[in-house]
């Protein structure tokens, strides 16, 4: 009976730690997937002079081997894509106090990508805002 009690106490301590470890691992995978997709979008833009029209364009043109799976939704078609802004805002440099006119951005529909999960991360920020 004493051995069973000790095993029960150890299990009750280990299970929450295991669950947090799984969540942290999924968060690390999400960060890596977002970094990889965003990097591929930037490479596509640098090569093609425009943003991709859809995420599948990245895998079709071999910028990605495939669209990664969102570790929280467990699907690869739940990514939320954001369109590019209408134009780059004017900037002023220290040497030229006059702002340069706004520059229109090239066409394309995928400027950024976010998770489709409605869950909140361990840092208090929803995964869809990462």
pLDDT in tens, 26-76: 999 999 999 999 999 999 999 988 999 999 999 999 999 999 999 999 998
Judge whether 98 lies within some domain: no
Residue 83 lies in a domain: yes
Give the 3-state secondary structure of residue 70: strand
Judged against a pLDDT cut of 60, whether residue 14 lies above it is answered with: yes
Expressed as residue numbers, the domain containing 72 is: 2-91+103-129
The structural domain count of the chain equals 1
Distance (Å, rounded) from C-alpha 112 to C-alpha 107? 14
């Amino acid at each position: 009976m004493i051995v069973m009690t000790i095993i029960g106490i150890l299990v009750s301590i280990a299970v929450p730690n295991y669950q947090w470890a799984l969540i942290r691992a999924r968060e690390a995978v999400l960060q890596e997937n977002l970094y990889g997709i965003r990097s591929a979008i930037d490479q596509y833009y640098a090569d093609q002079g425009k943003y991709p029209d859809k995420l599948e364009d990245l895998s079709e043109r071999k910028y990605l081997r495939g669209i990664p799976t969102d570790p929280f939704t467990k699907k690869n078609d739940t990514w939320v894509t954001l369109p590019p802004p209408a134009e780059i805002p004017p900037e002023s440099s220290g040497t030229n106090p006059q702002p340069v006119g706004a520059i229109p951005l090239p066409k394309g529909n995928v400027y950024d990508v976010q998770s489709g999960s409605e869950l909140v991360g361990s840092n208090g920020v929803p995964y869809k805002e990462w």
